[in-house]
Amino acid sequence: MAVLSVRLWPDPVLTTKAKPVDVIDDELRKFMEDMALTMYKADGVGLAAPQVGVSKRVIVIDVPGDEQEAGSGLIYAVNPKVIHKEGANAITEGCLSFPGLDIKVKRSEKVTVEYQDLNGAVQTIKAGGTLAICFQHEIDHLDGIVFTERLGPVSKRLALRDYEKLRRLK
Ligand code: NI
């Protein structure tokens, strides 16, 4: 396994719509394991392939403590899509492509997500809480939408300004 390098905003891959995966093979499985390792090493709870420079529709998620709502633990999701959503929620989110920036983002409270697992089998998961937020955040990445895009214009400007300051301080 290898730790992959995480692309930071404003890398153009982060605003590119990712391509669906047609074939789930050993190469993809190895790549997704590398993604999981990269996520854990960075202390993240989710990672989308575009964040490591690969414009494919795959994500990995591991939200601690959501086992009751989730299946459990690490989720490898190929071609994930939200097929149902309800309610509204806003919690503070971070993103590995925006180190240090925490912003409150409006999302659906609960989502049902359909995806293929590493064997190509279709899975459906009903998620609430942090897991629901995480799925929405990562699927947004596949559509080239970063979390600051979910803010209103003034909040977005403030967030990007804060992020530029954080980058200069590094
Ligand atoms: Ni992110």
Separation between Cα atoms, residue 32 and residue 38, nearest integer Å: 10
Please, are residues 97 and 11 in contact by the beta-carbon 8 Å criterion?
yes
Of 33, 93, 109, 138, which residue is the catalytic one? 138
Task: Provide the residue range defining the domain that includes 114.
Answer: 12-86+108-146
Asked, for residue 128, whether it belongs to a domain, the answer is yes
> Domain with 139 in it: what CATH number?
3.90.45.10
pLDDT in tens, 96-151: 999 999 999 999 999 999 999 999 999 999 999 999 999 999 999 999 999 999 99
Q: How far is the CA of 136 from the centre of ligand 1 (A)?
A: 10
Task: Compute how many other C-beta atoms are within 10 angstroms of the C-beta atom of residue 5.
Answer: 10
Does 138 participate in catalysis according to the annotation?
yes
Domain count, the chain: 1
The pTM assigned to this predicted structure is 0.95
Considering the chain, what is the average pLDDT of its residues? 94
48 is a domain residue: yes
Residue 17 lies in a domain: yes
> Is residue 31 assigned to a domain?
yes
Q: Rounded to the nearest whole angstrom, what is the distance from the C-alpha of residue 98 to the centroid of ligand 1?
A: 8
Ligand 1 center to 120 CA (angstroms) = 25
Residue 38 lies in a domain: yes
For residue 61, tell me if it sits in a domain. Answer: yes
Which residue, among 92, 87, 4, has the nearest Cα to 48 in the 3D structure? Answer: 4
Neighbours of 12 (CB within 10 A): 9
Residue 2 lies in a domain: no
Answer whether residue 127 is part of any domain.
Answer: yes
Q: How confident is the model at residue 64 (pLDDT cuts 50, 70, 90)?
A: confident
